[in-house]
Amino acid sequence: MSTVMSLERPQQPPESDADPAALADDASGPLDADALRRALGDAVLATEEHVHAPAVQIRPDAVQSSLSALRDDLGLDHLSCVTAQEYEDRYESVYHLKSYDDPTREASVVVPTPRSDPVSESAAPVFRTAEWHEREAYDLVGIQYENHPDLRRILLPETWQGHPLGLDYDRTRPQVVRYDENANPLAEDGRADTNTMLLNIGPHHPATHGVMHLQVTLDGEQVADVEPDIGYIHRCEEQMCQQGTYRHQIMPYPDRWDWGGGGLLNEWAYARTAEALADIDVPEYAQVLRTLAAELSRILSHMLAVGAYALDVVGDFTATFMYAMRDRELVQNILEDLTGQRLMFNYFRLGGVVWDLPEPREEFFEKI
Q: What is the pLDDT of residues 108-119, one digit of tens each?
A: 999 999 999 999
**In whole angstroms, what separates CA 159 from the centre of its chain?**
23
Determine the 3-state secondary structure of 181 from DSSP.
coil
Cis peptide bond prior to 13, omega within 30° of 0: no
Q: How many helices (H) and strands (E) are present in the chain, helices listed first?
A: 10, 12
Q: Which of 11-20, 97-106, 138-147 is the least confident region?
A: 11-20
* SS3 state at 214: strand
Higher confidence at residue 338 or residue 16? 338
State the pTM of this model.
0.76
pLDDT over 70 percentage in the chain: 84
| Dihedral pair phi/psi, residue 48, rounded to 5° | -155, 140
pLDDT value at 3 more than 50: no
Instruction: Answer with the residue of higher pLDDT: 344 or 59.
Output: 59
| Of the candidate ranges 13-17, 119-123, 278-282, 339-343, the one whose mean pLDDT is the lowest | 13-17
Residue ranges of domains in the chain: 20-146, 194-229, 244-367
Label residues 229-244 b or e (16+ Cβ within 10 Å = b).
eeeeebeeebbeeeee
Sign of CA dihedral 339, 341, 345, 346: negative
CATH code, residues 20-146 = 3.30.460.80
DSSP string across 85-130: EE-SSEEEEEEEEE-SS-TT-EEEEEEEEETT--EEE-STTT-TTH
pLDDT in tens, 19-74: 555 555 566 667 889 999 999 999 999 999 887 789 999 999 999 999 999 999 99
